[in-house]
Amino acid sequence: MTRIVQVANFYGPKSGGLKTSMVEIAKQYSRSGIECLQIVPGHSYSRSNTNYSELITIPGWRIPFSGGYRVIIGTKKIKSLLTEYRPDLIEINDRLTLLSLATWARKRNIKTVLFAHEILVNVLKTFFPYVPYLTHVVKWHNLNSFKKFDHVIATTNYAAQEFKAINANNLSVIPLGVDKEIFNEKRTNYEIRNHEQFPKLILCSRLSKEKNPELAFKVLQLLVEHKMNPHLYVIGSGPLKNRLMAKYKNLPITFLGYINSRKEIAKYLASVDLVIAPGPNETFCLAALEALSCGTPVIASDKSALKEILVNGGGTYVDENIDNWVEAVCTVALDQNMRSEALRNANNYSWEQTVQKLLSLYCLTQPEKELVA
């Protein structure tokens, strides 16, 4: 039986898109007859099994002010587990701290894959804006990184840009998917949908600096000043939560915090008028795709990868001007065709398609009859 290991760092109990993508891909691997092991940082060492993979947590350093995210310091234990498991392929979901695993694997004829989940230079500039020559340092890092792997995978052309710039010859662009059994119009809560407040907005995001969540609050503030009757639901937590709650305490906001139940998230996504995705560095944004799958339009930053998705309908993208965001909210919320466009656009994405493309790239494509519907 083919064995694939997924390894991640910068991971926590409230991880969003990274955790979702690892889980959904592992589920499809299992349905294709592939055995999967996930190795992530945690509070302590543990081993557990799901119906789609084995999960091992290795004690990791807790990153201060991150909301519980952890990093495995050193790869000795990971390498020991890999020796025990004997995988055919390793997927590495970290561009900074786990690169030595690729060198280790190559010596043992194990294929390796690097998932590029972020634009590294943009993330680092958010936290270290005054570091000189940061762009050159990241370019050098990328040049040394991609050669270690059999494949580098980006989920959008936006996410691929750093590797395209250095002519990485092992780069592939494979979009993520959406679970339409969970995220669909049937999740609509009509008590929320029919409430007199309009427009009803959702920010579904980690509340941290690189996600630019405060823009959604500023949009809400302007809508109130324009004598509208809006409401903002905030799904997610993070280091900025308390500050944002205090600063905007007089606005019509419901802080829902981190929601573990994906069906509960789907209920809110399906019931509002639109989703705001202000993060300029989003390389895919699963929450936005999940909103589209619920028939809810999305407004996003024109600097993010969502521009590639929304160009096919179901929302729009906006520059940094806050007045343009307010105008976009009013336009999109009143457009009766937006919900059907959102559903039509979401039909272009599925986890089945994602994993079929991955397995084809890995030369691990399974016979059609082995796939479980």
* pLDDT tens string 155-180: 999 999 999 999 999 999 999 999 99
- Whether 229 and 196 have beta carbons less than 8 Å apart is answered as yes
Span 248-270, mean pLDDT? 97
C-alpha dist (Å) from residue 71 to 10, 139, 180, 256, 310: 5, 23, 32, 27, 33
Compute the distance between CA of residue 275 and CA of residue 219 in angstroms, rounded to an integer. 12
Dump pLDDT digits (tens) for 32-55: 999 999 999 999 999 999 999 999
Domains 3-177+350-370 and 185-346 share a fold: yes
pLDDT at 351 over 50: yes
Fold of 3-177+350-370: Rossmann fold (3.40.50)
| 324 band by pLDDT with thresholds 50, 70 and 90 | very high
Average pLDDT across the chain, whole number: 93
| 365 band by pLDDT with thresholds 50, 70 and 90 | low
| 17 band by pLDDT with thresholds 50, 70 and 90 | confident
Closest C-alpha to 320, from 165, 232, 212: 212
pLDDT at 368 over 70: no
pLDDT at 279 over 90: yes
Fold of 185-346: Rossmann fold (3.40.50)
pLDDT at position 372 is 33
365 CB-near residues (< 8 Å, 6+ apart) = 356, 359
Dump pLDDT digits (tens) for 105-155: 999 999 999 999 888 887 787 767 778 888 888 899 999 999 999 999 999
Compute the distance between CA of residue 80 and CA of residue 373 in angstroms, rounded to an integer. 35
What residue spans define the domains of the chain? 3-177+350-370, 185-346
Instruction: Please state whether beta strands 231-235 and 89-93 pair in parallel, antiparallel, or not at all (unpaired).
Output: unpaired
Compute the distance between CA of residue 174 and CA of residue 155 in angstroms, rounded to an integer. 5
DSSP 8-state code for residue 53? -
pLDDT at 367 over 50: no
| Percent of the chain surpassing pLDDT 90 | 84
φ, ψ of residue 242 in degrees (nearest 5):
-65, -40
